[in-house]
Homo-oligomer: A and B are copies of this chain.
Amino acid sequence: MIKVGIIGVGTVGTSVAQILKDNADVISARAGTDIVVKSGVVKNLAKDRGLDIILTDNVDDVLNDEEIDIVVELMGGVEEPFEVVKRALENGKAVVTANKALLAYHRYELQDIAQDLAFEYEASVAGGIPIINALRDGLSANHIESIMGIMNGTCNYMMTKMSQEGVSYDAILQEAQELGYAEADPTFDVGGFDAAHKLLILASIAYGIDAKPEDILIEGIDNVRSEDIAFAKEFGYVIKLLGIAKKDADELELRVHACLIPEDEMIAKIDGVMNAISVVGDKVGETLYYGPGAGGNATASAVVANIIDIARSGKSKPMLGFNKPMEGKTLTLKPTANIESKYYLRINVSDKAGVLAKLTKIFENHNISIETILQRPTDKENANLLISTHESLEKNIQAMINELEALDFVNARPVMIRIV
């Protein structure tokens, strides 16, 4: 019998205990052994969770319990859980976590500490979708060319609603908060940070690269407005927040930002709170993985799958997918300034004679070639210029946006969304 201790018995932790009980028949048959939750660590012992496990508010009761084989970390945070899982590993216990922030910062240290102990984290990216599994094991024969993922359900829900129902950004953010999809402070989701944590984990498995959130481009959807959605529709695009990893010779782009995506791409068809991750391998081509990226049961499904896997095999695959570094191939992060992309710009200008000529001249000076342009009045004296460009260099776009912002006929800093 395998005994599990859960540190942090909130929504996901409760689901983990419940699934191990509800589905004990099939889990025991698949694992070849019974798996039970012995104890759980909570902050508030007074709260009834409806579970028949030992509850304690002292993490040592789990970490020092010699009967416990697997520690499930569901505390949240970064440094506190880092100390906890380190101690669990030092005590010879396997670890399963759903904590993406912990991994975004400490995954390589954890791999070093874990050694031959199992350390699994399927639930940390895209909830119930077994994407770690697919990338680490299923696609291991491939050089990964790119990963493009809808990794934040809150943002995808908001973008879908804005697109399908014409709701404004502010109204849909409020609705998402009321539905519990977005926090009171939504920055972590709509600012792209949640997606960035997940992207970094996938990038390690695909490319063996150790990058931290502060090393990469992270933008959110907070600039996207109804007029951008309308432009996208008119030209056959949808707008999504994507996490992107893209290999270009010896350089790797890692970035999270809103994107215009051609509407016939599979990833463009993913609506609502669902997540999906498209992976292109040099041999297999594109595969895509779709499912619920959040929710207690979906996340717990991935946690329990990891527990079963540990029960089956006892030992870990290489935690991040590489048994040793690739010889002579060191990927470096491509500086953001050197990213090449097509761009969409929304520029609010005073609607005066000669403005368009001056503006297009500035585009030309920055070596940026315009693909489409659409002018829409915003009131009697002002208009939005909605412009898409041909492939351009990020540093040129940024320099141009700075120049445009300073002009007297440009009313606000132009909004830019990259086109993929």
Contact = CB atoms under 8 A, between A and B. Distances in A.
A23 B143 CA distance: 7
A298 interface: yes
Nearest to A29: B326
Contacts of A285: 128, 291-292, 295, 297-298
A283 B301 contact: yes
A194 interface: no
A312 B313 CA distance: 12
Interface stretch (A134-142, A233-241, A372-380, A406-414): A134-142
Contacts of A140: 27, 30-31, 304-305, 308-309
A244 B193 CA distance: 39
Contacts of A143: 23, 26
A25 B329 contact: yes
A290 B292 contact: no
A90 to B, nearest CB: 24
A289 interface: yes
Nearest to A307: B141
Interface stretch (A44-52, A71-79, A249-257, A315-323): A315-323
A341 interface: no
Contacts of A286: 291-292
A41 interface: no
A269 B290 CA distance: 13
A349 interface: no
A19 interface: yes
Contacts of A290: 266, 287-290
A282 B281 CA distance: 31
A324 interface: yes
Nearest to A33: B323
A153 to B, nearest CB: 12
B25 A305 contact: no
Given A134-B138, A138-B134, A305-B140, A321 B287 contact: no
Interface in A112-145: 122, 128-130, 133-134, 137-143
Contacts of A304: 140-141, 283
A288 B327 CA distance: 35
Contact of A23 (B23, B138, B283): B283
A287 to B, nearest CB: 3
Contact of A133 (B133, B291, B301): B133
18 contacts: A15-B283, A23-B283, A25-B326, A30-B323, A32-B323, A32-B324, A128-B281, A128-B283, A130-B134, A130-B139, A130-B287, A141-B301, A141-B302, A141-B304, A281-B301, A283-B300, A284-B292, A290-B290
Given A29-B208, A29-B324, A140-B304, 10 more contacts: A29-B325, A128-B283, A134-B138, A139-B301, A139-B305, A140-B308, A286-B292, A287-B292, A288-B290, A313-B315
